[in-house]
């Protein structure tokens, strides 16, 4: 069947209307709250999606995921693998649409960088292969340990990596044999509902039960709390700021909390400055700095601070100086010293225009030297491509300052140095889930660095880069005598 563009647009409008309409649930068309039916204008989908997995109420979403979980238990590992491959494949096909929709709906970040982040999740999130059974054999026979599903998982996702977190969590949780109820960020609800529909359809075509991942059409803080505290959700996995991590800890359930970071990057006098400058621009500039692992402040040893600045400017970063720093403070901070959300996830050109500085639309970061570490640009996780730089006398002072400004989140830190002792010291002192040496922070997510990826990095609860291993429970079976084959 051939559809021209107008027909496709009409089709998509109908699908999107359904996703946001009070009758979003196919199984329960009643009792939905009133919805906002506004939507971005430029949605252009290549093929149809559906509202599979999207329900009018969170209770219905949980009930459907519970039913799906008992059906999934009957499925083979081979089917689980096929479901995961189907999620990867449909995500590859829709990557451009998902990136565009996420930027249009949330107003955060850049389409080209979201393509990079989504591709990373598609290709490098581990599936069932990471779940390794263990066997101990001895005079008393055999002991086998396997990883089993919790059941239904409550997953709360952020607006900064809206689609990336959904796919990353879905792959890991399904790999473990769980089903998932997502409570997505309200400002990403449309792209999330669209994506959950796509993923469910893809899994169904691969032999999965229906509703392996579900969500309610109108997520709120209240619905997040309902899903976290509901007796039918066994594990709570949250990705977001400090409030939601605290809420997860208070849920009364086992909780995996992936909270905020404020990653420092230290550059010492032994560093390759061209490489350091390039890495900082690429890491801190990723998706307009909204990624939790992105470099948030530069701490440079005085000997090389000016040279580093020069390299950064040569590679396209823009430095804000003098009175313009004050103007920038007035713009991106609120009157009570907080962060002006209006500028989160915006490009430097957009931000600097407001204070009368013009720069190329493709400029990735702006930076400014600030006098001391108490400066709000250093203290706050700004989540925008405005990076403060601090100058210190030596590398030991730099490491000590990095430790203080990271606020004990133990999330991510980076260092550029060729002094092995300094690299070793900072790695130990920072005690972070991710420590990156001589590369952009994104290398710690496996982008240009070794290892798998995860977009739920649980520092408060200690799992680090979460995978199916963390979304499963350990079960032991002891077989007395016999079964040992030697
Ligand atoms: P956010 O905390 O505003 O929202 C995250 C999710 O939590 C949303 O679904 C939101 O609706 C929900 N939520 C917020 N407050 C809640 C409360 N009191 N009770 C219940 N639910 C609540 O975060 P955001 O703006 O979407 O994302 C940015 C933040 O998330 C940054 O701090 C960033 O560092 C952090 N983050 C961390 C990771 C990680 O892996 N550690 C990954 C992405 C984002």
**Is ligand 1 within 6 A of the CB of residue 381?**
yes
CA-to-CA distance for 71 and 69, rounded, in angstroms? Answer: 5
**Is ligand 1 within 6 A of the CB of residue 243?**
yes
Q: In what order do the strands lie in the sheet with 141-149?
A: 134-138, 141-149, 472-480
Three state DSSP letters for 463-480: CEECCCCCCEEEEEEEEE
**Is ligand 1 within 6 A of the CB of residue 247?**
yes
CA-to-CA distance for 397 and 391, rounded, in angstroms? Answer: 10
The ranges assigned to domains in the chain are 5-259+466-473, 264-450
CATH fold group of domain 264-450: Aldehyde Dehydrogenase; Chain A, domain 2 (3.40.309)
In angstroms, what is the span from residue 243 Cα to ligand 1's centroid? Answer: 7
**Is ligand 1 within 6 A of the CB of residue 118?**
no
Q: What is the CB neighbour count within 10 angstroms for residue 360?
A: 11
Tokens of 198: 């796509």
In angstroms, what is the span from residue 39 Cα to ligand 1's centroid? Answer: 23
242: phi then psi, degrees, rounded to nearest 5 = -65, -35
- Ligand 1 atom having least distance to the Cα of 457: 40
Q: Are 430 and 445 in contact (CB under 8 A)?
A: no
- Ligand 1 atom having least distance to the Cα of 242: 2
396: phi then psi, degrees, rounded to nearest 5 = -65, -40
Superfamily of domain 5-259+466-473 in CATH is: Aldehyde Dehydrogenase; Chain A, domain 1 (3.40.605.10)
Give, using CA atoms, the residue closest to atom 17 of ligand 1: 244
Q: Say if residue 348 is exposed, middle or buried (CB neighbours under 10 Å; 0-12, 13-18, 19+).
A: buried
**Is ligand 1 within 6 A of the CB of residue 449?**
no
- The tens place of each residue's pLDDT in the chain, 486 residues long, gives 333 444 334 433 443 344 333 333 332 222 222 233 333 333 334 434 579 999 999 999 999 999 999 999 999 999 999 999 999 999 999 999 999 999 999 999 999 999 999 999 999 999 999 999 999 999 999 999 999 999 999 999 999 999 999 999 999 999 999 999 999 999 999 999 999 999 999 999 999 999 999 999 999 999 999 999 999 999 999 999 999 999 999 999 999 999 999 999 999 999 999 999 999 999 999 999 999 999 999 999 999 999 999 999 999 999 999 999 999 999 999 999 899 999 999 999 999 999 999 999 999 999 999 999 999 999 999 999 999 999 999 999 999 999 999 999 999 999 999 999 999 999 999 999 999 999 999 999 999 999 999 999 999 999 999 999 999 999 999 999 888 888
In angstroms, what is the span from residue 481 Cα to ligand 1's centroid? Answer: 51
- Ligand 1 atom having least distance to the Cα of 183: 9
- Ligand 1 atom having least distance to the Cα of 243: 18
In angstroms, what is the span from residue 239 Cα to ligand 1's centroid? Answer: 5
Ligand 1 pocket test: pick from 220, 241, 441 the residue with the most ligand atoms within 8 Å of its Cβ. 241
In angstroms, what is the span from residue 99 Cα to ligand 1's centroid? Answer: 19
Q: What is the CB neighbour count within 10 angstroms for residue 192?
A: 29
472-480 and 141-149 beta bridge pairing: antiparallel
User: What contacts 370, CB < 8 A, 6 or more positions away?
Assistant: 325, 377, 378, 388, 389, 390
DSSP one-letter code for 337: S
Q: Are 387 and 408 in contact (CB under 8 A)?
A: no
In angstroms, what is the span from residue 275 Cα to ligand 1's centroid? Answer: 32
């Amino acid at each position: 069947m051939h559809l021209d563009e107008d027909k496709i647009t009409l089709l998509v409008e109908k699908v999107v209307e359904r996703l946001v309409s009070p009758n979003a649930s196919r199984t329960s068309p009643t009792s939905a709250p009133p919805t906002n039916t506004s939507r971005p204008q430029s949605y252009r989908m290549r093929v149809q999606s559906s509202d599979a997995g999207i329900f009018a109420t969170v209770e219905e979403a949980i009930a459907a995921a519970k039913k799906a979980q008992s059906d999934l238990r009957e499925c083979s590992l081979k089917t689980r693998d096929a479901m995961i491959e189907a999620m990867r494949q449909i995500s590859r096909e829709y990557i451009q649409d998902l990136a565009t929709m996420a930027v249009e709906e949330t107003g955060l970040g850049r389409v080209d960088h979201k393509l990079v982040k989504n591709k990373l999740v598609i290709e490098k999130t581990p599936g069932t292969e990471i779940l390794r059974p263990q066997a101990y054999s001895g005079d008393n026979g055999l002991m086998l340990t396997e990883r089993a599903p919790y059941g239904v998982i409550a997953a709360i996702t952020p607006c900064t990596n809206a689609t990336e977190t959904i796919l990353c969590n879905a792959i890991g949780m399904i790999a473990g044999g769980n089903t998932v109820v997502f409570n997505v960020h309200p400002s990403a609800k449309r792209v999330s509902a669209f994506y959950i529909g796509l993923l469910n359809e893809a899994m169904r075509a691969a032999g999965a039960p229906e509703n392996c991942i579900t969500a309610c059409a109108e997520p709120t803080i209240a619905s997040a709390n309902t899903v976290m505290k509901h007796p039918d959700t066994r594990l709570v996995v949250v990705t977001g700021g400090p409030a939601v991590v605290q809420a997860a800890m208070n849920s009364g359930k086992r909780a995996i909390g992936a909270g905020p970071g404020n990653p420092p990057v230290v550059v010492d006098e032994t560093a390759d400055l061209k490489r350091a400058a390039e890495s900082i621009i690429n890491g801190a500039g990723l998706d307009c700095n909204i990624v939790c692992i992105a470099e948030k402040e530069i701490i440079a040893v005085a000997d090389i601070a000016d040279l580093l600045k020069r390299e950064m400017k040569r590679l396209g970063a823009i430095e804000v100086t003098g009175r313009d720093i004050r103007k920038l403070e007035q713009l991106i901070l609120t009157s009570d010293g907080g962060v002006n959300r209006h500028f989160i996830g915006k490009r430097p050109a957009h931000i600097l225009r407001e204070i009368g500085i013009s720069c190329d639309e493709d400029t990735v970061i702006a930076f400014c030297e600030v006098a001391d570490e108490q400066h709000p640009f250093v203290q706050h996780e700004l989540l925008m491509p405005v990076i403060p730089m601090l100058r210190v006398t030596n590398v030991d002072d730099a490491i000590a300052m990095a430790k203080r400004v990271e606020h004990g989140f133990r999330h991510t830190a980076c260092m550029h140095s060729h002094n092995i002792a300094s690299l070793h010291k900072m790695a130990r002192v920072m005690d972070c889930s991710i420590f990156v040496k001589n590369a952009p922070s994104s290398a710690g997510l496996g982008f240009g660095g070794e290892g798998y990826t995860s977009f739920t990095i649980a520092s408060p609860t200690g799992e680090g880069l979460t995978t199916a291993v963390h979304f499963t429970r350990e079960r032991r079976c002891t077989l007395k005598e016999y079964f040992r084959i030697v």
